[in-house]
Structure 1
Amino acid sequence: MKWHSPHNPTGKVFTKDELETIAGACCRRDCMAITDEVYEHITYDNIKHISLASLPGMQERTIITSSLSKTFSVTGWRVGWAIAPAFFASAIRNIHIKITDSAPAPFQEAALTALRSPPEYFENLRREYKSKRDYIVHLIAGIGFQIKFKPRGAFFLFAELPENYLLSDVEYVKELIKQAGVVAVPGCGFFHTTLSAEKLSQVGCSYQERYIRFAFCKSSATLAAAAQKLAELSDAMEGVIGGKNA
C-alpha cells in the first residue's frame, strides 16, 4: 500500500482514527505500507502529522520516504531517504547504489545541517505557509472556484472550476497560461483512470476534468501578482472561457 499524508494535491492530513483503520487493514492482510511523508512539517490549524509507522504493528511493515525538497525548498537537489526495517533497508541500499550511487557530498553535509534546524524554523515555516494558504483560498474562492476541502497540510489548493465554466481543467490551464501568465496543474492527472464502466456510470467521468491544483509555495510578491492577473482574467474572459454567456 502506498500512502501520502499530508496529501498532494488535496492537502488532507489523515487523522489517527483513519490511520488506525489503515494500519488494521495492513496487519490483517499482512501487507507492507510505503509512506510519503515529505510534507510532515507543513501542517495547519494545530493539526499534527502522525506517521503510520508509529501505530502498533506498523513499524516492522512500513517504509517511510521523505526528502529535504519541501521543508527546505531545495527540490532541485533530489536529496531524500527511506526509513525501513533492516531487511528492506538493505535491499533498498543495494538497488540505490546500482542506480545513482549516492547524493553529492556537499548536499549531504547541507542535509545534516538542515535536519538539525531548531524547532523555531519549523514553526515559522508553518506560520508563513498558513498565511499564504489563507490568502490563496480567499483569492480562488473570490473568483468563483468551489473549495470543498480547505488544505490542512502541504502547500496546494485543489479547487473545482466554477459551475458556469464550460472548459475542462486542461483547457482552463492553457487559457490561464496564455491569457494571464499564471501556471497551475490540471486535476485530471491525480484521479484513478481505471474505474469500471459501472462505477463511471455512477459518478460520471466529467468530475475528473473539473479540478485545478494551485500551489502557494511562492513569495508574497509572486502570489500578489498572480492574484491581480487571475482577477483580471476572471473579469475579462467571462464568456470566453465558459462564463454565463458562453
Structure 2
Amino acid sequence: MKDLSRRTADFTDSVIRRMTRISNRYGAVNLSQGFPDFDPPKALLDRLAQVAYEDFHQYSITCGAPGFRQALAEKQSRFMGRTIDPEREIVATCGSTEAMMAAMMTVVDPGDKVIVFSPFYENYGADAILSGAEPIYVPLVPPEFRFDPEVLEDAFRQGVKALILCNPSNPCGKVFTRQELELIADLARKYDAYVITDEVYEHIVYAPHRHVYFATLPGMWERTISCSSLSKTYSITGWRLGYTIAPEEITERIKKVHDFLTVGAAAPLQEAVIPGLRFGQDYYDGLQATYTRKRDLFLRGLDDLKLAHTDPQGAYYVLLDISEFGYDSDLAFCEDLAREVGVGAVPGSSFFREPVNHLIRLHFAKKEDTLLQALNRLGDLRKKLGK
C-alpha cells in the first residue's frame, strides 16, 4: 500500500490530553488539561435547558447564528473599542482550535514561514504542519518571558507571512505589554506580515497587568485575525464555541475555509450562550477576582512547600521548576507525579522549541477544595520523588 501523508508522519498525540488520560488512570487531581471543575454561570445553564425544547436543532447559518454573532459583536465592540460588524467581520467556529486553523489556512500557503513564540500552545506546531508552513521560533526568555527585539526582527527578515501571538500566553502566563505589542506591530508593518492572535484568556489578567487587543493598535486592524473562544470566560470548554474577528476581505475567506472544515458550530449552544455575552462589567470583574483568589491560594501553597515556580500575569497556568528532582525526562517525572503523588501535570518540553526538560505546567482553574487537595498531595513530592 502507498504511504500515508508525509505531513502527519511526525505527529504525536496531544501531550496535554495524554496527561489527562494518565491522571484519570491513577485517580490523580488533574491539573494538566486546562478545564474547570465548577459549573458555568446559571444564566447559561437555564437558557441551555430552555433551548432543548426550542427550534435550534438543525444547522444554523454556517458563519454563525445571527443572534450569536450580534451578541458577540456587541460584547467585543465594547471591549475592543471599535464597532465590530456581526455580518462582515465575525465567523463562529468550533472552539478557538478551529479558529486558529481556519486563520492559518486563510493566510498561509505551503512553504510560507510563520513566527511562533516559544513556549507555545502545542496546537500551533500542528497548525503550521497542516497548513504546510514552516514555523520560525522566537524564544521568550524566563523568568519574565521577554523576547529580544533583534532576534524577533531577524525572524521577520526571513520573509515571514504571519506571526502567531498568544496573549495572555499559554503556558507561561505572560501578558504582553503595550510597548512589546507596538514593537511587534511595527515589525509586522515593516515586513508586511499578518498577525494571528489567540486571546482566549483575554478576561483572565491579574493586576496591575492589562490586556491590549492587538487589532486595536494603530494600523493593525487591516492585518490582524483575532481568534478567541468562550470556553475559559464562561467555563464551557466542552461547548466548543470560538470565533474569528477580522476585516471583511479576510473574513470572507475564513468563511469559506470554515465551511469546509466543520460546516458550523453547534446551533443550540450558540443560542444558549447569548445571555453570557450580554453580561455586564460586573461579571468580568468577578471573574478576575475569582481567578486572582485561586492564583494567590495556589502560589502561596507552592511557596509554603518551597517549590520554585513562575508568577503568571494572566491565564491560569504556572510552570513548576523540577530541577531538584534530578529527572532527565520531564515526561517521566509527570507520569511518576500522577502515579506516586496523585497530581496531574504537563511536561514543559511539549511547549518549548528549546531543549527544556526542567519545567512542568500545572493549572489552577479548579475549586479551592480541589487546589488544596492537590497542594496537600504535593506536600509528599520530595518524599516520593526526591533523589
Report the TM-score when normalising by structure 2.
0.56
Secondary structure in structure 1 of the residue aligned to 2:379? helix
Quote the Cα distance in structure 2 between the aligned partners of 1:174 and 1:186. 9
Quote the Cα distance in structure 2 between the aligned partners of 1:181 and 1:108. 37
Quote the Cα distance in structure 2 between the aligned partners of 1:31 and 1:7. 21
Partner of 1:219: 367
Quote the Cα distance in structure 1 between the aligned partners of 2:210 and 2:367. 25
Partner of 1:78: 240
Partner of 2:265: 103
Residue range with higher mean Cα deviation, 209-218 or 178-187: 178-187
Question: Residue by residue, what CA displacement relative to the aligned partner does 1:161-210 show, whole Å, maximum 9, x if unpaired?
Answer: 1x4211132122111110122111110010015xxxxxxxxxxx3xx000
Secondary structure in structure 2 of the residue aligned to 1:172? helix
Question: Residue by residue, what CA displacement relative to the aligned partner does 1:62-91 show, whole Å, maximum 9, x if unpaired?
Answer: 000001111111111110000011111011
Partner of 1:87: 249
Quote the Cα distance in structure 1 between the aligned partners of 2:187 and 2:321. 32
For structure 2, which runs of at least 5 residues remain unmatched after alignment?
Answer: 1-162
Partner of 2:190: 28
Q: Given the alignment, which residue of 136, 147, 164 partners 2:324?
A: 164
Higher relative contact order (CA 8 A, sep 6+): 2
Letter in 2 for 1:35: T
Secondary structure in structure 1 of the residue aligned to 2:265? coil
Residue range with higher mean Cα deviation, 44-53 or 213-222: 44-53
Q: 1:145 deviation in Å?
A: 2.6
Quote the Cα distance in structure 2 between the aligned partners of 1:112 and 1:34. 25
Quote the Cα distance in structure 2 between the aligned partners of 1:113 and 1:180. 41
Q: Given the alignment, which residue of 292, 301, 314 partners 1:153?
A: 314
Quote the Cα distance in structure 1 between the aligned partners of 2:273 and 2:197. 20
Q: What are the residue-to-residue correspondences of 1:1-246 with 2, within 5 Å?
A: 1-147=163-309, 149-161=310-322, 163-167=323-327, 168-192=329-353, 205=355, 208-234=356-382, 236-237=383-384, 241=385, 243=386, 246=387
Secondary structure in structure 2 of the residue aligned to 1:35? strand
Moved over 6 A (4+): none
Q: 1:112 deviation in Å?
A: 1.9
Question: Residue by residue, what CA displacement relative to the aligned partner does 1:187-242 show, whole Å, maximum 9, x if unpaired?
Answer: 0010015xxxxxxxxxxx3xx000011100011111111111111233x22xxx2x
Residue range with higher mean Cα deviation, 53-62 or 97-106: 97-106
Letter in 2 for 1:181: G
Q: 1:45 deviation in Å?
A: 1.4
Quote the Cα distance in structure 2 between the aligned partners of 1:135 and 1:172. 24
